[in-house]
Amino acid sequence: MTLQENVVIEPNNSKKKLAGLAIKSTGNLSEVVEILLKEAIITLKQVQHARRIMSKLETNLPLVSVLQELKMVTDEQIHHALQKNPISMPMVDLLVELGYIHDSDLKIAQEIQAGQKTKQELDKILVDHRLIEEHTLLDVSALKLGIPHIEPELSQIDRKLFSKAPLKWFEKHHLIPLGREEQGIRIALVEPCNKNDLEAAKELFGTNVLPAITRQKTVDKVIKWMKKQDLRKGILASDENTIVKLVNSIILAAVEQDVSDIHIEPLKDKLRVRFRHDGVLNHFEDFSARVAPPLTNRLKVMCDLDITEKRRHQGGRILFEYPDGEIDLRVSFYITVHGEKIVLRLLNRKGLHVSLKNIGMTPLMLKYFKEEALYQPSGVILVTGPTGSGKTTTVYSCIHHINDPQTAIITAEEPVEFVIDGISQCSINPKINLTFEETLRHIVRQDPDVIVIGEIRDNFSADVAVQAALTGHKVLTTFHTEDSVGGLIRLLKMNIEAYLISSTVVGLLAQRLARKVCSECGQTYQPSTAELQRVGYTSEDIIGTTFRKGRGCSHCQHTGYKGRVGIFELLVLNDAVRSAVIEQKTSQELRRICIESAGLVTLMEDGIYKAAAGITTIDEVFRCLPRLQKSRPLLELRRYLGELS
């Protein structure tokens, strides 16, 4: 194919006229490129330049992809142009042209189709064999049809529109009404090109139907939710069996989705349920406000609490059994203006059994932690961080690592979250006067080598930890502080003598949990200048790094994140730090000494290091980590942290 490069154009012509001549002068171009020329988003010279680049490439890239790589056109411009112009090219060709699949992917799909007795459409084969994500396919389908792709939240659905027909009718036509807009009623269809479904929607809702495309799973989910809403309209306080099933279904859904907390919140006109997954709250379902009192009573009965008490906060515990096992739930009832808000924390016992080498520490930090803190014969090791930062998991990982027949380990926990064979664990129960104070008085009389205190919560428990370390015991415990240096400062504020802290505390491990980039849809990318400025780096500082971001897929519920990784700040006390503690230096001075003399790598620095390795993202690092000072260059951090395994 040749380009006619010498095109004579009148200088006074408009951009649109130039674009029209450009299309004629370029011969056979893809429909997408023709639309971009027609809309004057790109010029003939740019197309010619891109084609010359294409001819020199070893890999066969579509022209649109080359134009994007050359920064001649953006995704946003392409989408805007395609929405304004009808596209006749086949769906699979459009996917190739926009760079969502390669020619090799298309050939694989065609080979699979050729071997089928009942021929599937190529786009469905691409999704079924994970050559493209369904979400991406629907985005491009919406672009081709000139309609939006919508995956609505249940709270956004206009339930009144469902009253126009039985739910079976919506199931039959694979569509759901979303809500009213200025120009008509928005309807989401699984197959917007299906004339029967579209005509059925127009007959029911009138001719002003605004189509959108959605997944079959979304339609099924909404209809299932509507069936539950119909069922719950008639729920009364006396309908005990229904309430029991409802509570069980919420807990089971949380277990299946591997969430950490369930929030049941009474609002003015409804009861809202949200799940915390990977540290972020997400909407689960809404219920009628009438459900709140019987549901609250059911949970109080399960916790063995007083159901008549509605003026004071209460707390309890549930051991919930289900077909695949059992799970502990800590339950908190909190009085609000609209009723009792309930939070259930799921104690995931499986999640606590994590090998120490797999909790997320870099190899050099892990080696340093084991040799200079965990393997020391005596002293206090503090694991610090806010609630939900993974402290308990880290402590259990340490216990597993040092547990052997020659070591006597004893614990005082509230409650025992994971039973470990070979160690003596005590679950605190204030109801029978088995308190922390009572337990800690007796714990040192049990001839332990290692004492595990669930949490330092007051002066008494801090004093017991220090005194136990002075008498030659190794003490592992958790502490609620912002960072490692904050742990030392807080101990000083708890009236523990500075010389005792200096002589007994071996090390502090501050930590957080950051969401990991989804392994299925994560892609490498170059951070923008604005992102680098937030970190305090330049483009030269990140040479050799592999920053990644998730596009969003079904595997990660279209968040771009799946699972979490530990971010750590390890402080092992040396002579300089011990002297600073005795002198009771300020937190700023203490932090400077820790960095300069003890090789302290801050939480933010460890987070940035892991973002540069493609494990998490810059956005996630700034979402969950404190930034107390400017981060050092990545090359310097590599000396302290080593290469990530």
Q: What is the pLDDT of residue 206?
A: 87
Q: For position 235, what pLDDT does the model report?
A: 47
Across-strand partners of 342? 264, 333
pLDDT at 516: 94
Average pLDDT over residues 611-626: 92
**Rounded CA gap, 621 and 638, in Å?**
18
Token pair for 356: 């120490």
- DSSP-derived secondary structure letter, 291: G
Domain with CATH 3.30.450.90 in the chain: 234-347
Task: Give the per-residue pLDDT at 231.
Answer: 54
The stretch 174-193 carries a mean pLDDT of 91
- pLDDT, greater one: 173 or 115: 173
pLDDT at 452 > cutoff 80 = yes
Question: Highest-confidence range of 153-162, 259-268, 341-350, 526-535, by mean pLDDT?
Answer: 259-268
The pLDDT score that the predictor gives to residue 114 is 87
Beta strands in 501-623 (DSSP E): 505-517, 522-524, 548-550, 561-572
Topology of domain 234-347 in CATH is Beta-Lactamase (3.30.450)
Whole-angstrom distance, CA of residue 211 vs CA of residue 64: 28
**Of the given ranges (5-14, 190-199, 212-221, 311-320), which has the lowest mean pLDDT?**
5-14
Tens-place pLDDT, residues 194-225: 999 999 999 988 888 999 999 998 999 888 88
pLDDT at 397: 92
Query: Which stretch of 26-35, 189-198, 207-216, 577-586 has the lowest confidence by average pLDDT?
Result: 26-35
Q: How confident is the model at residue 89 (pLDDT cuts 50, 70, 90)?
A: confident
Q: What is the pLDDT of residue 372?
A: 94
Q: What is the mean pLDDT of residues 439-456?
A: 87
Boundaries of CATH 3.40.50.300 in the chain?
351-641
What count of other Cβ atoms lies within 10 Å of the Cβ of residue 319? 10
Mean pLDDT over residues 575-601, rounded?
92
Query: Do 447 and 353 form a contact (C-beta atoms < 8 A)?
Result: no
Tens of pLDDT, residue by residue over 461-494, are 898 899 889 989 999 999 999 899 999 999 999 9
Q: Is residue 232 very low, low, confident or very high in pLDDT (cuts 50, 70, 90)?
A: low
For residue 416, the Cα-to-chain-centroid distance in whole angstroms is 27
- Give me the percent of the chain exceeding a pLDDT of 90: 36
Instruction: Read off the pLDDT of each residue in 339-356 and give the average, rounded to a whole number.
Output: 80
Pick the CATH number of 351-641 from 3.40.50.1110, 3.40.1640.10, 3.40.50.300, 3.40.710.10: 3.40.50.300
Confidence check: pLDDT of 21 > 70: no
Q: Provide the mean pLDDT of the chain.
A: 85
- Residue 237, pLDDT > 70, answer no
Q: Does residue 582 contact residue 502 with C-beta atoms inside 8 Å? A: yes
Domain with CATH 3.30.300.160 in the chain: 154-227
- The sheet with strand 339-347 has its strands ordered as 280-288, 270-277, 261-266, 339-347, 325-336, 314-322
Note the pLDDT of residue 633: 87
Mean pLDDT of 88-113: 86
Angle, helices 44-56/31-38, rounded to nearest 10 degrees: 150
Rounded to the nearest 10 degrees, the angle between the axes of helix 240-256 and helix 292-303 is: 70
Residue 394 has pLDDT above 70, yes or no: yes
The better pLDDT of the pair 5, 609 is held by 609
pLDDT at residue number 600? 93
- For residue range 111-170, what is the model confidence (pLDDT) as tens digits? 888 888 888 888 888 888 878 888 888 888 888 888 999 988 877 788 888 888 888 899
DSSP, res 337: T
Q: In the structure, what pLDDT confidence band is assigned to residue 352 with cuts at 50, 70 and 90? A: low
Q: What is the CATH number of domain 154-227?
A: 3.30.300.160
- In terms of Cβ atoms closer than 10 Å to its own Cβ (0-12, 13-18, 19+), residue 645 is exposed
In this prediction, residues 227-255 reach a mean pLDDT of 73
On the question of pLDDT at 349 being above 80, the answer is: no
pLDDT at 377 over 70: yes
Q: How confident is the model at residue 8 (pLDDT cuts 50, 70, 90)?
A: very low
What is the reported pLDDT for 258?
86
Residues 6+ apart with CB under 8 A from 133: 127, 521, 551, 553, 554
Supply the DSSP symbol for 107: H
**pTM for the structure as a whole:** 0.63
